[in-house]
Amino acid sequence: MKTIIFLLFISISWSIYAQDFLIENKTWSQVFITSGNHSKSTSIFKISSDTVIHSQTYKKVLISNDSTKSWQLHDWALREDAGIVIKHHLNFDNDEEDTLYNFNVSEGDSIKIDNNSPYQMHVDSIKMINTLRYFFLSIGNFNTIWIQGVGNIDNLFEPTGNTLLVGGSSHILCCKSENNDIYINKNFNTCYLNSVDIEELSSTEDISFQQSENTIKISSILNKNHIQIFSLRGELCTEKILDMGTKEFDLSHLPSGIYIVIINKKFKKKIIIQ
């Protein structure tokens, strides 16, 4: 009886902790920071619909390089087979595949990175942390981490993370499914970073801007003005079209915090909502 209960407990635990990787509309935000921390740019990846390539069914991956999420088709298509995530490059007219992640490995196992690489990764340990299964891996003198259902915490499409990356470093900022946080990188605590968000331009020849408590006043001599307000996590909170002239916007409906106002994609201003 004890054996049956123990096996049942393991089965239930696995069903709770195991994370499917390819869920439609699941998103990852990944930032690239150049060497010397001179600039930051965020890419957002999203799992899209099915596509059939050489008789195999893959999920298309979309990419957006801005927080407004204007999507384009990414180079890689992915499929999942019982805990193994497989990638195929859409620009290659063949049926060649590479294993992106194998979440079935055990401690002490070695993992071949891809079909053409001489390198192997070693599984040093596997731990459960906050209901997520972490894989601690090494390649030579370098270390990296996978999370089941999330992938490499530094680079979604590179299982070695930053090990082989030159010119800077990348980091997964967050991973979401159905607007629920699966993973948040506590070193950043945001889903969107971009160097242009840091550089504020308080006025231009065309636009003037004022804030009074939770109200902003915008004046423009342009016929049409595209106004967007983002949270620091890169989420679009408000979007308006302003004609020529002056208009006030009441933002008291937004939760307290810091927001970024972008007008016509060139005027940028941080505001605080109390």
Burial 79-98 (b: 16+ CB within 10 A, else e): bbeeeebbbbeeeeeeeebb
180-211 pLDDT, tens per residue? 899 999 888 788 776 544 445 555 667 777 88
- Summarize pLDDT for 74-95 with one digit per residue, the tens: 999 999 998 999 999 888 777 8
Q: Note the CATH number of domain 200-273.
A: 2.60.40.3080
Q: What's the pLDDT score for residue 110?
A: 93
Through-space distance between the first and last CA atoms of the chain, rounded to whole angstroms: 58
Segments of the chain with pLDDT less than 70: 1-19, 36-39, 66-69, 114-117, 164-166, 194-205, 232-235
Q: Where are the domains of the chain?
A: 21-195, 200-273
pLDDT digits over 93-108, tens only? Answer: 778 888 999 999 999 9
